[in-house]
Amino acid sequence: MNDLYCPYCDENLGNHVDDCYEPNIEYEHECPRCSKIFIFEIEYYPSFTSRKADCLNGKKHKYEKILGYPKEFFKNKRRCSMCGKEIIINDAKGKKEEKVDGNEHGK
Ligand SMILES: [Zn+2]
Ligand SMILES: [Zn+2]
């Protein structure tokens, strides 16, 4: 039988989670021992996988590009590889404002 372990302090948390969790969904859980927050998901009941999520413990998110189609849709999207949070970035910086010089005939 597999238990849930805190990825930070290795505390066995198998008794701290209810058995109402659904598989393949990522849950945030705060370790009662070291008070760090981590992500776990259930692969097959009652086994767990857990991973560190530093960004939920005061560190920065680790945003990475998302590949998908259509490209335009994902162009400005970034997903944190640790907690899975997605954001839309503003690329106003890389946007060139091109002015079209219209010839005015009204002279
Ligand atoms: Zn812990
Ligand atoms: Zn994150």
pLDDT by residue (tens digit) across 56-99?
999 999 999 988 888 888 889 999 999 999 999 876 655 555 55
Ligand 2 centroid distance, CA of 107 (Å): 58
Strand order in the sheet with 48-52: 26-30, 37-42, 48-52
CA distance 49 to 56: 17
Ligand 2 centroid distance, CA of 16 (Å): 23
Ligand 2 centroid distance, CA of 89 (Å): 15
pTM over 0.85: no
Domain map (residue ranges) of the chain: 1-59, 60-90
Locate 44 and state its tokens.
């097959």
CA distance 38 to 51: 6
* % of the chain with per-residue pLDDT over 90: 39
| Closest-CA residue to 4 (of 51, 48, 64) | 48
Give the tens place of pLDDT for each residue, 12-36: 987 656 655 677 788 899 999 999 9
User: Residue 38 — pLDDT band, cuts 50, 70, 90?
Assistant: very high
